[in-house]
Homo-oligomer: A and B are copies of this chain.
Amino acid sequence: MIAAPFLLYLGHSADALGIKTSRGLAAFRGEDCVGEFRHDDCPQTLGLPRMTMEEGVAAGARTLVLGIAGAGGKLPAELIADAQAALNAGLNVAAGLHERLRDQPALVALARERGLQLFDVRDPPRRLSVGKGTPRAGHRLLTVGTDCSVGKMYATLALTRALQARGVAADFRATGQTGILIAGAGVAVDAVVADFISGAIEQLAEARDDDGWDLIEGQGSLFHPSFAGVSLGLLHGAQPEALVLCHEPGRPHMRGIPGRALPGLGECLERNLEAARLTSPEVRAVGICLNTSGMEREPALRLCAATEDKLGLPCTDPVAFGVDAILDRLLCAAPSTLSTTASR
């Protein structure tokens, strides 16, 4: 468990996507974020008080979160220097980069000397087993996507909170670095050895019998040629009772692959349902989440309504318009009449 409260690192970053992990923490765990650390040349802010490491400690921070992602998940010298400064000030350090903090001898020695911890969020759990697909108790929802980075984590978190607000036991199950930092636990499924993809998710969202929900963050897309294997193993391991399809309207091509079109929503949903039936024969689709952050409100509302009509499922932007209609569908007691709607 990564000790909160956090000081969020922006460093020198001028790239809005580059600070998405720090931004995710500020958005979903704002109560645990005492401030932001940025250098003088950093043009970005999360709207939190700017603090030095020492000021962060004085404000109660226990961990500096290196919530940035550079090219290739590298850990450049300047980041190492700032991590050293944090340790010297008395902060633990957490990061979710491909290059690990624990592979930096200077950081390891300093942390040991100061009695502090380094957290490599992307490390897979030590003892993973292969998945089995054995039916397990509990309600599970998985977000799936037409593409990477279309808002699956935001949708999953919004659904979790809305369920909790209705008094339903609900837990967010993180599968990526930002989600893990927000939840304080999870598995970076893209960093697991391939044999253990579905097994890692079976372990992440174990059987439960309290009538509560596990809401599992999806990754990638069955239609993304780089990552579909991860998406399929995740889908099988999740053994979901319900799927929510996430999409960002207007995206010109699959992320990172110019010229490759996104799948249609209906086709994407049908393929996910078909694949999910291997371990969850009664799986049903319960909604569509659109990331309309790049659109005006009125066209976004019209698009949601049109998508709802076309696919016969509640459609919303979970951040802008809430997820009540999806929860109504999720919690209503007539799954048998709903499971076919996605086939239209």
| 8 Å CB contact of A191 from B191, B195, B198, B227 | B195
Q: Which residue of B lies closest to A189 (CB)?
A: B194
**In the complex, what distance in Å separates the CA atom of A198 from the CA atom of B256?**
15
Set of chain B residues within 8 Å of A226, measured between Cβ atoms:
130-133, 195, 198-199
| 8 Å CB contact of A130 from B192, B194, B198, B227 | B227
- Please classify how large the interface on chain A is, using the bins under 10, 10 to 19, 20 to 34, 35 or more: 35 or more
Is A232 interfacial (CB-CB < 8 Å)? yes
Do B198 and A229 have beta carbons less than 8 Å apart? yes
Q: Which of A199, A228, A234, A279 has the most CB of B within 10 A?
A: A228
CB distance from A89 to the nearest CB of B (A): 34
Is A317 interfacial (CB-CB < 8 Å)? no
Do A236 and B225 have beta carbons less than 8 Å apart? yes
Binary contact track A220-256/B, C-beta < 8 Å → 1, others 0: 0011011111111110110000000000000000001
Binary contact track A115-140/B, C-beta < 8 Å → 1, others 0: 00000000000000011111000000
Is A102 interfacial (CB-CB < 8 Å)? no
Is A190 interfacial (CB-CB < 8 Å)? yes
Set of chain B residues within 8 Å of A195, measured between Cβ atoms:
190-191, 226-227, 230
Within 8 A of B (CB), among A165-196: 189-195
Q: Which of A130, A195, A199, A234 has the most CB of B within 10 A?
A: A195
Is A260 interfacial (CB-CB < 8 Å)? yes
**In the complex, what distance in Å separates the CA atom of A55 from the CA atom of B234?**
50
Is A197 interfacial (CB-CB < 8 Å)? yes
CB distance from A35 to the nearest CB of B (A): 33
**In the complex, what distance in Å separates the CA atom of A275 from the CA atom of B223?**
9
Set of chain B residues within 8 Å of A274, measured between Cβ atoms:
271
Provide 21 A-B residue pairs closer than 8 Å at the C-beta atoms, listed in order of the A residue. A130-B227, A133-B226, A133-B257, A190-B195, A191-B193, A191-B195, A192-B193, A193-B194, A194-B229, A194-B230, A197-B230, A198-B229, A222-B232, A223-B278, A225-B237, A225-B279, A228-B233, A228-B236, A228-B278, A229-B232, A229-B233
Excluding A225-B236, A230-B233, 12 further A-B contacts by CB distance (< 8 Å) are A130-B256, A131-B226, A133-B260, A190-B193, A190-B194, A194-B194, A194-B197, A199-B226, A225-B278, A228-B232, A229-B234, A232-B232
